[in-house]
Amino acid sequence: MMRSVSLVERLELDFSGNHFSHALALGDVDSDELNELVIANVGGVLAVFKGDASSKPWRECSKLGTITCVGIGDIFNTGKNAVVCINAEGMCHIIMVDPESSLPVHSPKSSSYSSSPSMQRKVSSKSMKPTHSQKLEAPNVKVMLIASIAPGGDNELFVGHTDRFVGVYRWNPEVNSLQSTHKFPLSGQIG
């Protein structure tokens, strides 16, 4: 028995360029309890779309490299989600999305806004800047997941590489960076 579904209403989004299959995510990026669509292309542009029937991006960030994967989650373990994107060269960019464009986007190092200009960035009405960027141990990341699997409950960043290994990173607030905690080789896998 075949079943047919007719989608009468549709929405075209104003976003161009090629993208990897894992450079697309749905999640609450601005803590409003509503999901947003995040998509990134190989040209280094990342866009956030709200569910408000607008074809234009709500927020954008550019010059991020050849983005291979995107994730949304509480990577800083502060109770607020962030957008994490990783490019083909192994650069990991973490973007805290603030729903109010007039407020500074702050570093997760402290719970209050920092007075240091390097840690405090103003965002215009649509543009975003990474809160944190760092090079991971290896390039060629194909897939990522932000999740907690340890008994402690802290979220970690799991990255799958095309070189057949999985890396695990955890945010360390003392040094204000992601630190590698595990590396699992998958040498017996065919890929």
Q: Using 50, 70 and 90 to split pLDDT, how confident is the model at 168?
A: very high
**Structure confidence at residue 125 (pLDDT):** 59
Nearest Cα neighbor of 93 from 130, 145, 141, 63 is: 130
Q: 80-104 burial, b for 16+ CB within 10 Å, e for fewer? A: bbbbbbbbbebbbbbbbbbeeeeee
Of all residues in the chain, the percent with pLDDT exceeding 70 is 84
Residues 115-167: pLDDT tens digits?
A: 333 434 444 458 899 999 999 988 889 999 999 987 878 999 999 988 888 99
**Structure confidence at residue 120 (pLDDT):** 41
Q: Using 50, 70 and 90 to split pLDDT, how confident is the model at 4?
A: confident
Cα 159 to Cα 6, 60, 145: the distances in Å are: 37, 24, 7
The DSSP output letter for 96 is P
